[in-house]
Amino acid sequence: MATALANGRVLLDDGLHDGLAVLLEGGDIVAVLRDDDPRVRASDVHDLQRGVLLPGFIDAQVNGGGGVLFNNAPDVAALRAIGAAHRRFGTTGFLPTLISDDVDVMRAAIDAVREAIEQGVPGVLGIHLEGPYLAPARKGTHDAGKFRIPDSAEIELATSLGTGVTLLTLAPEQVPAESIRALVARGAIVAAGHTAASYEQARAGLGAGVRGFTHLYNAMTPLQGREPGVVGAALEDRGSWCGIIVDGVHVHPASLRVALAAKPRGKLFLVTDAMPPVGADSPDYVLYGETITARDGVVRNAAGALAGSALDMATAVRNAVSMLSLPLEEAARMASLYPAQFLRIDNARGRIAPGYRADLVLLDDKLDVATAWIAGSLL
């Protein structure tokens, strides 16, 4: 029997609608109907209790959650734990993110993601390799001792997943243009991040195939009057996407509002850059052998560098509404449709429409997550 989600406000392409029901069957959305349609009455009706039904959130940058850091446990069990932690906050699809590490850890992480996808671990969409092809001057909390320039063997390794999405963050001034083109030709989505590039070098990276920018403003050369830097290149370019961390710490809300004004609509999307404290009882975790503690929702290492975040996607959506003065429907698209477009999975995810996967999240009147579905399964 089909399931009908009824008695809620439903986000469609043209905004929020009352009086509709969403019909689910076999893991997909099969119809969006008036709630008095006979097909609704013939289904197993789930009462949304006047909540807001949105496309499930898609997070392209998840380092950890539920007390687990992917770098420390690059295996399927860790991916299950991380995914379960983030589902509580409406994330129905995510890229487990490996920060700069050795080749053997990269290989193990890629193998784990491949196996997780084959096993159908809920929410795993692919992998995000954030490094190790980064700039020491903009390393953030990454270990610069892990940084290197990829040779042909590493390019082959980095693009060896064979299923799902591979997102690779690199510094375009550190990686030859021909290597960027090779990564793109092998199916990787390439983003610029942790980069000390000049404006000209950033533009050259875009020309070589860079599709977006990782955590805009953070760990990149800033926009200045006589040197636009990476930020200037990112804001000027009409075709690229930018991930943003809306926690009030990584970037001032005014700077994010400037980015919203500069970029075409749909080119900014929410990410968490989440670390193990998300969905965990303990605020502590170990990164590169150092114990790090989240304090008041802020995660820094001993040197004072931001070490990811304790942000979840539901909070990011609420912050986009409160800090950036965005309507809920646009904040929701920044957490669903726009990252799906960046990751080239918007043919099946990011919208509530027939033929799309039934990855959905229900918010209550406080914009907290009431429940979520992945492939039609209530979580």
Query: What are the φ/ψ torsions at residue 8 (nearest 5 degrees)?
Result: -145, 180
Distances (CA, A) of 370 to 210, 361, 365: 37, 8, 10
| Mean pLDDT value of segment 154-172 | 98
SS3 content of the chain, % helix, strand, coil (to 5): 30, 30, 40
**Predicted pLDDT at 39:** 96
**Predicted pLDDT at 119:** 97
User: Can you tell me the distance from the alpha carbon of 312 to that of 323, in angstroms, rounded to the nearest whole number?
Assistant: 16
Contact 160, 118 (CB under 8 A): no
**Residue 372: strand, helix, or coil:** strand
Give the model's confidence band at 300: pLDDT under 50 very low, under 70 low, under 90 confident, else very high: confident
Give the model's confidence band at 330: pLDDT under 50 very low, under 70 low, under 90 confident, else very high: very high
Strand order of the β-sheet with 212-213 is 57-62, 91-99, 126-130, 165-170, 189-192, 212-213, 241-244, 268-270
User: What does pTM read for this prediction?
Assistant: 0.97
| pLDDT tens, residue by residue, 177-217 | 999 999 999 999 999 999 999 999 999 999 999 999 999 99
Distances (CA, A) of 311 to 141, 143, 276: 17, 22, 10
| pLDDT tens, residue by residue, 82-99 | 999 999 999 999 999 999
Distances (CA, A) of 142 to 36, 114, 303: 55, 24, 12
Give the model's confidence band at 252: pLDDT under 50 very low, under 70 low, under 90 confident, else very high: very high
**Predicted pLDDT at 95:** 98
Identify the DSSP state of 146.
Answer: G
312 catalytically annotated: no
Give the model's confidence band at 112: pLDDT under 50 very low, under 70 low, under 90 confident, else very high: very high
Give the model's confidence band at 58: pLDDT under 50 very low, under 70 low, under 90 confident, else very high: very high
Distances (CA, A) of 340 to 56, 270, 288, 344, 346: 11, 11, 31, 6, 5
Contact 4, 10 (CB under 8 A): no
The closest of 128, 162, 131 to 144, measured between CA atoms, is: 131
Above pLDDT 70, what percent of the chain? 100
- Chain-wide mean pLDDT for the chain? 96
Distances (CA, A) of 314 to 44, 81, 210, 247: 27, 18, 28, 11
Angle at 21 between CA 376 and CA 346, to 5 degrees: 55
- Which of 247, 273, 312, 359 is catalytic? The answer is 273
Task: Using CB atoms within 10 Å of the CB of residue 179, give its burial: 0 to 12 exposed, 13 to 18 middle, 19+ buried.
Answer: buried
Structural domains in the chain, sorted by start: 3-54+354-378 (2.30.40.10), 56-342 (3.20.20.140)
User: Can you tell me the distance from the alpha carbon of 163 to that of 68, in angstroms, rounded to the nearest whole number?
Assistant: 24
The closest of 309, 299, 134 to 230, measured between CA atoms, is: 134
